[in-house]
Chains A and B, each alone.
Chain A
Amino acid sequence: MARQKLKEIVIDRSWCKGCGICVHFCPTKVLEIDANEKSVAVRPEDCICCKMCELRCPDLAITVLIDQGEDNEK
């Protein structure tokens, strides 16, 4: 299986409460809390598409969109 390729990390800023769970547990340190206490993807190029941020977000504010290119079929 080819490595999954990230399309976009979508963060709903009106739902995010800046709890920091996604930041703390991201294995490749993609996310940070900004000055407005919201999560932002500062290093999307390092994302390994594990989706742990999306699955653990208590505010259902993150969606990790994966590129559904040809060599990304499972």
Chain B
Amino acid sequence: MAIQDYLRQRYFPHMWCPGCGHGTILNSLLRAIEELEIEKNDLVITSGIGCSARISGYVDFHSLHTMHGRALPCATGVKLSRPHLNVIVPMGDGDALAIGGNHFIHAARRNIDITAIVMNNRIYGMTGGQFSPLSGPGVNATTAPYKTIDNSFDTVKLAIAAGASFVARSTAYHAQESTDILKKAIQHKGFSVVEILSQCPTHYGRKNKEGDAASMLEFHKKNTARIGSKALEKNPDLTPRGIFVDVDTPEYCAEYEKIIAVASKEKM
């Protein structure tokens, strides 16, 4: 199938700005789904609110476009009631880790079989460029005219500490790598977190003088390195990419099935 056959083409061209990294992440995700040959009917995309969250409207799968920060609890409901479905939750950095931070850590703690994608452009794109918990210090934002002083979360470390059983990072520049990682994340039984660094040329790029979309992608290329690579060994300040954790731990829906079995027996 062509990648475009997975889209609700009536909504195209999409509303994302020219050069928005979120479009590339959609591109990489669709290729992962195509390569895994997942049936459209076996897949639910649940999102919150944000430019990133628009993704659920563009894909021709089951989709829920819910509330800002609340995509994971909605997805948890879907997954618990229909455990055989694949549930993927693309989120913005604000969506996932500001307003939705509490839901994020608890979904990870339960290890429910959901694939969470953090589309990290380090800014609130949709609302005009406020800083987020992933901006980090020294960033210009509408809410930080003299630059941010807040430290940022490390999405990967946070997800690991909270109990996610698959944790990875890539970037919009590394599109093929993103697809490969997403395939593994979707196949993994448990809570998978994939952080993909994205770019918002309209707000982040302009305020931080990072140039156009292509030069922002050059940053992804220059400032990251694969775990285990010589480049990372030589320069530990680079942001590491790759799969950090991939372990089998008890999955929430499977454990819940067992409780249902025990409770049903007692009733008889």
Chain B 1-39 near chain A by CB (<8 Å), digits 1 or 0: 011100100001110111111111011101100000000
Point out residues on B near A: beta carbons under 8 Å. Answer: 2-4, 7, 12-14, 16-24, 26-28, 30-31, 172-173, 175-176, 179, 201, 212-214, 217
CB–CB A17/B27 < 8 A: no
How many positions in chain A have a CB within 8 Å of any CB in the partner chain? 18
Selected from B13, B19, B172, the residue in CB contact (under 8 A) with A14 is: B13
Selected from A55, A56, A59, the residue in CB contact (under 8 A) with B13 is: A59
CB–CB B212/A19 < 8 A: yes
- Known A-B contacts A17-B18, A18-B18; the reply to A58 vs B214 at CB < 8 A is no
CB–CB B7/A60 < 8 A: yes
CB–CB B175/A56 < 8 A: yes
Point out residues on A near B: beta carbons under 8 Å. Answer: 14-15, 17-21, 23-25, 52, 55-60, 63
Whole-angstrom distance from the CB of B263 to the nearest CB of chain A? Answer: 47
Residues in A whose Cβ lies below 8 Å from that of B17: 17
CB–CB A20/B28 < 8 A: no
Residues in A whose Cβ lies below 8 Å from that of B176: 55
